[in-house]
Each structure stands twice: as C-alpha cells, then as structure tokens.
Amino acid sequence: MRIAIVTGGAQGIGRGIVTHLLEEGWRVIALDKDAEAVQELAAMHADAPFLALETDVGDESAVAAAFRRIAGWCVEVNETPGIDLLVSNAGIADPVSGPVEQLSLTDWRRWQDSHLTGGFLMTRAAVPLLRIRKGAIVFVASTRAIQSEPDCEAYAAAKGGLLALTHALAISLGPDIRVNAVCPGWIETAPWQKQSERSHPGHRAVDRDQHPVGRIGTPEDIAATVAFLASPGAGFITGQHIAVDGGMTRKMIYAG
Ligand code: NAI
C-alpha cells in the first residue's frame, strides 16, 4: 500500500488530508503535538490502516523517536520498506506575531521551529524512506509567503522559508523525490478541530464574495491538491508552489 506521513494531522487542514488519503486507500501516519486530538483521531480510525503519534515536529529527538516507532509499525503491518509521501503541514496557524518592535526572540523561534525547522527535521528523517519508493514531499505553506497583512513577520518568514526549501530540495532530491508546496488562502478549519474545540461558524456574504470563486476554502480543497501533487499525474511537477485560495492572490484591490 502507499504510505503517507502527515504532520499536524490531528486537526484542521492536516486532519482533512489524513481523511482524504485514507479514503483514497493510503496507509497513513499522522504526527501531531496535541495529545487529546491524537487520541481522538486514533480512536476514530481504530480499524483503518492508520497510526497517530504525539510528536512535536520542531523537536529533533521527538522526530527521531517518531521515525523509530514508524519503522516498527511498518514491520508490524507487514509493509515493505519506504514511504511514498511526506506532507509537512504542522505549524502555528495563527499568523499574527504582533508589532515587530515587541516580537521576542522566543516567539520568533516558536514560529520558525514549528513550520520551518519542523519541515527540515521531518524531511531529513523521511528522505531515506522516500528514496526507496521514489516518493514525494508536499509542504503546506501559505499565501502569506507572498503577500502580507501587518504584524505577521514571524509567520510570513517561516512560510517564505518553506517555499525556498521546496525549490532547493526539488533540485537536490530529484530525480528520486519530487518536492512541491501548497499555499492555502482562507481555509475554515473550525469543523475539523478536536471535539472539545469544534464549531461550525457561518461566514458573512462579504467574506465569501471577496473570493473570486464565491466561497471560503475547506480542508478538502487542500487535501485534493496534496493528493494530486502526490499522484503520478503530477510526475512532471517539482519545485513548484500552487495557491489554493479561491483566486484571492489574483485579485487586484483598489481603495474605494
Ligand atoms: P490547526 O491549528 O487547525 O491545525 C494544526 C495542527 O498542527 C494542530 O493539530 C496542532 O496541534 C498541530 N501542530 C502545531 N504545531 C505543531 C508541531 N510543532 N508539531 C506537531 N504538530 C503541530 O491549523 P490549520 O489551519 O489546519 O493549519 C495547518 C497548516 O496550514 C499550517 O501550516 C498553517 O500555517 C497552514 N495554513 C492554514 C491556513 C488557514 O486558513 N487555515 C491558511 C494558510 C496556511
């Protein structure tokens, strides 16, 4: 079976990606630092070809421990060596780090560690396994890698770093491994949170209508693009990033 590792897989977009890949018949391993969400997802997919592990992807020793557990699990389920896909999605989803004059080094590092260092640590550990099956990496970046609101420096820098990491890795790891990124726009994740934090918010017409496609995005929108980038149909695509944003980054905005 095809095997995917999805970071930040227990809630939000990552949970949507896990669900989509399981529906497509993949064997899926979700890593997430939220213990409650991990337990909930594991219980939900108890009968599926699924493993959920509590892991902080910005922590080198935690990532190493997760890969030891993954190796053991693959043996337990009689899987041949290797993985087919790494989806590096985990990270602090809040883009606002506050005014740059007041941004502490500790907070700056929290954003870089979860998104960028996490992406690096996961990639470093996954590459030997991906090489075996000639797999793919997909980073979940953001349209905020290429455009900004005020006070989002730590997030924007981390996401911009992921786009640079994408093209750098595509050149280093080809032809064995393809590497691409998805840049989500506004994705509503409230219905995809763990039970204790789940909600189903409505959206104002003005919020929907500002999107050229007339709606706000869903985790399924991102999952479908990730699955495409992992598929043989995307075999000639590497080093790219694709915006999945309902057209927002293509919209010209003038005041008044
Ligand atoms: P979310 O907060 O709903 O889910 C993120 C999941 O990642 C959570 O389960 C959390 O526990 C986990 N996580 C966070 N840091 C982690 C770490 N260091 N190690 C392991 N797990 C960690 O967030 P959402 O919205 O689903 O975001 C997923 C990705 O998509 C993030 O990289 C975010 O920046 C990106 N994104 C989200 C957008 C949106 O509108 N929701 C827009 C653009 C990008």
Q: Single out the catalytic residue among 67, 120, 155, 192.
A: 155
| Long-range residue pairs from 93-99, CB within 8 A, at least 24 positions apart, any chain | 93/12, 93/189, 94/155, 95/142, 95/144, 95/149, 95/152, 95/155, 95/156, 96/149, 96/151, 96/152, 96/155, 97/151, 97/152, 97/153, 97/154, 97/155, 98/151, 99/151
114 pLDDT band, cuts 50/70/90, is: very high
Closest atom of ligand 1 relative to the 193 alpha carbon:
3
The whole-number pLDDT of residue 129 equals 98
Atom 9 (ligand 1): residue with closest C-alpha?
11
Task: Choose the residue to mutate in 7, 38, 57, 89 for probing ligand 1, maximizing ligand atoms within 8 Å of C-beta.
Answer: 89
112 pLDDT band, cuts 50/70/90, is: very high
Ligand 1 centroid, distance to 173 Cα (angstroms): 26
The whole-number pLDDT of residue 76 equals 94
Q: Percent of the chain scored above 90 by pLDDT?
A: 98
The whole-number pLDDT of residue 200 equals 97
155 assigned to active site: yes
Q: Using an 8 Å Cβ cutoff, are 171 and 239 in contact?
A: yes
Mean pLDDT value of segment 11-34:
98
The whole-number pLDDT of residue 177 equals 98
pLDDT 10s digits, 218-243? 999 999 999 999 999 999 999 999 99
Spatial CB neighbours of 160, under 8 Å, sequence gap ≥ 6: 145, 146
136 pLDDT band, cuts 50/70/90, is: very high
The whole-number pLDDT of residue 123 equals 99
- Give the pocket of ligand 1 (CB within 6 Å): 7-8, 10-14, 31-34, 37, 55-58, 89-93, 114-115, 118, 140, 142, 184, 186-187, 189
The domain segmentation of the chain, as residue ranges, is 3-250
Q: Is residue 182 pLDDT above 80, yes or no?
A: yes
Could you give the 3-state DSSP secondary structure of residue 88?
A: strand
* Arithmetic mean of pLDDT over the chain: 97
Task: Choose the residue to mutate in 13, 39, 203 for probing ligand 1, maximizing ligand atoms within 8 Å of C-beta.
Answer: 13
**Cα–Cα distance, 132 to 83 (Å, whole number):** 7
The whole-number pLDDT of residue 48 equals 87
The architecture that CATH gives domain 3-250 is 3-Layer(aba) Sandwich (3.40)
256 pLDDT band, cuts 50/70/90, is: confident
pLDDT 10s digits, 159-178? 999 999 999 999 999 999 99
pLDDT 10s digits, 36-76? 999 999 999 999 899 999 999 999 999 999 999 999 999 99
b/e burial code for range 23-47 (CB count within 10 A of at least 16 → b): eeebbbbbbbbbeebbebbbeebee
